[in-house]
Amino acid sequence: MDAIEVIVAKRDGAELSTPQIDWVIEHYTSGVVAHEQMAALNMAILLNGMSRREIVDWTRAMIRSGARMEWTALDRPTTDKHSTGGVGDKITLPLAPLVAACGGAVPQLSGRGLGHTGGTLDKLETIPGWRAHLSGEEMLGVLKDTGAVICAAGEDLAPADRKLYALRDVTGTVESIPLIASSIMSKKIAEGTSALVLDVKVGSGAFMKTVEHAHELARTMVELGLDAGVKTVALLTAMDRPLGNTAGNALEVAESVEVLAGGGPADVVELTVALAREMLDAAGLDGKDPEDALRDGSAMDVWRRMIRAQGGDPDAPLPTARETHTITASASGVLTRLDAYAVGLAAWRLGAGRARKEDPVSAGAGVVWHAVPGEHVAFGQPLFTLHADEPARFERALAALDGSFDLVEHGTPDLLPLIIER
């Protein structure tokens, strides 16, 4: 077998056989298949699609490229969540300790932000002392002690996906349902969780811009999970506007801590509680209700222990950006639209995100929006506060926000429901 044969087959619209898929994934991981050959194959897959059987084979081959974790040493069921990524999506931060406080074990392997979407590890790394990289043994220790761990995936977790995702990112081949589904699910299945809730985002700030596409991605991922013996469910949730009131690393940690303290923005609380209930249900747990665990401080208690167990100081002040710039309302009215992608792009340009994998991010940079769609804003009231370390960044962030919102005298927003479908 050789790479050209596999590329040509997919280019011409054929279904790849199981041996062809196994061969190409194994030999790309080991370096025999060149990046340019895999890039051509990815583009052929993006253009011609894959059958259900091909997606299952592709996912299994990626799982086999590395190690599979297991959690039999734990005395509680494992349950995890994965979001397909959005703007202001800090849900993992309050969610993992919340589910642990209700009896689940959450082995959450997270990633870093790329482009306009934020990454959980970048956010947590703004907490002084907090470490993202743990050995398998350390991960188990934190899980046993606190019930939740959020850390970076080890080098041996689906290494084929690690190479493939970096390649797709620079070859315009991210937005393919078979490639996204297999990428996400290979990592989640290899992570060894027994239950999984997928938060599939829909709207301008998400990979999937329409409910129809998000539905197909969700169905594909749920089937892959069930096929691998993982109890998997998916929620389709809104990303036409950003979540909460902040996008940026330390800004989102602060907002997450507010939720754990029993406050925080209504949409973040609603989605966190809904996802927690789904995770507990998928794991067969029906003890404590998540709303009670937010109210009685037990979720906050797990958060503090989890942060400490990974070297962080939950009481240390979070870093702030050196400069701020406020945009005020030029008229009174109702905010009827706030575009998620534009806000994410502004936060990215302020320094919260990275353009290349190896770029550093600014801990304090980001955007705070002072009103959410549906709220009335008075003339002169602050609409956005931009945070950046260098004032030169404000101009490009302002350009991103230009035209990103509608402020009208009378009107109601036309928004997707926060939870669109289960």
CA distances from 76 to 87, 106, 153, 284, 370 (A): 32, 10, 22, 10, 41
Under the binding rule (CB under 6 A), the answer on residue 143 touching ligand URA is no
Q: Give CA separation, 77 vs 99, 186, 274, 371, 372, in Å.
A: 11, 20, 19, 39, 37
Place of tokens 């958060």: 303
Cα separation, 200 vs 210, in Å, equals 11
**Shortest distance (Å) from residue 60 CB to ligand URA:** 16
80 as an active site residue: the answer is no
165 binds ligand URA (CB under 6 A): yes
Using the contact rule CB under 6 A, the part of the chain among 175-183, 212-220, 306-314, 372-380 near ligand URA is 175-183
233 CB-side CA count, 13 A = 16
Query: Is the Cβ of residue 186 or residue 336 nearer to ligand URA in the bound state?
Result: 186
Binding status of residue 217 toward ligand URA by CB under 6 A: no
Of the candidates 322, 42, 333, the residue with the CA atom closest to the CA atom of residue 169 = 42
What gap in Å lies between CA 250 and CA 245, rounded to an integer? 13
| 410 counts as catalytic | no
Instruction: Tell me whether residue 106 or residue 371 sits nearer to ligand URA (CB atom).
Output: 106
- By CB under 6 A, the count of residues binding ligand URA is 8
Judged by beta carbon, residue 187 or residue 393, the one nearer ligand URA is 187
Output 69 or 184, the one with its CB closest to ligand URA: 184
CA dist list (Å): 328 to 158, 165, 331, 404 = 47, 40, 9, 14
Do residues 334 and 411 make contact, with C-beta atoms less than 8 angstroms apart? yes
User: Binding residue for ligand URA (CB under 6 A) from 158, 180, 228, 386?
Assistant: 180
Q: Which of 80, 122, 161, 267 is catalytic?
A: 161
Q: Active-site residue among 65, 176, 182, 183?
A: 183
Stretches 137-145, 147-155, 177-185, 307-315: which one binds ligand URA (CB under 6 A)? 177-185
Residue 29 or 183: the one with the smaller Cβ distance to ligand URA is: 183
- Least distance (Å) between residue 86 CB and ligand URA: 11
Catalytic residue of the set 27, 82, 112, 123: 82
Task: Using the structure block, give the residue that is written with the tokens 């194994």.
Answer: 26
Catalytic residue among 27, 81, 162, 168: 168
Alpha helix segments (H runs only) across 173-248: 177-190, 211-227
Q: What angle do CA 117, 290, 136 make, to 5 degrees?
A: 60
Residues 63-122 that bind ligand URA (CB under 6 A): 84-85
Q: How far is the CB of 80 from ligand URA (least distance, A)?
A: 13
Task: Calculate the alpha carbon distances from 336 to 154, 197, 257, 369 in Å.
Answer: 43, 31, 28, 14
Q: Which of 21, 25, 102, 184 binds ligand URA (CB under 6 A)?
A: 184
Separation between Cα atoms, residue 199 and residue 219, nearest integer Å: 12
Q: How far is the CB of 152 from ligand URA (least distance, A)?
A: 13
* Torsions phi, psi for 166 (to 5 deg): -65, -40
Interface with ligand URA in residues 250-279 (CB under 6 A): none
Give the integer Cα–Cα distance in Å for 134 and 153.
9
168 part of the active site: yes
Closest approach, Cβ 352 to ligand URA, in A, equals 18
Three-state DSSP at 237 gives: strand
Contact range with ligand URA by CB under 6 A, out of 44-52, 179-187, 272-280, 318-326: 179-187
Cβ-based nearer residue to ligand URA, 85 or 366: 85
**Binding of residue 183 to ligand URA (CB under 6 A):** yes
Closer to ligand URA by Cβ: residue 85 or 86 = 85
Active-site residue, 161 included: yes
Closest-approach residue to ligand URA (CB): 183
Between 24 and 293, name the residue whose CB sits nearer to ligand URA: 24
Tokens in use for 194? 């027994």
Collect all residues with Cβ–Cβ distance below 8 Å to 412 and sequence separation of at least 6.
334, 336, 374
Going by C-beta distance under 8 Å and a sequence separation of 6 or more, which residues neighbour residue 394? 323, 325, 350, 386, 388
> Min. distance of Cβ 101 from ligand URA in angstroms?
27
Please report, as ranges, the residues that interact with ligand URA according to CB under 6 A: 84-85, 165, 174, 179-180, 183-184
Tell me the catalytic residues: 82, 161, 168, 183, 187
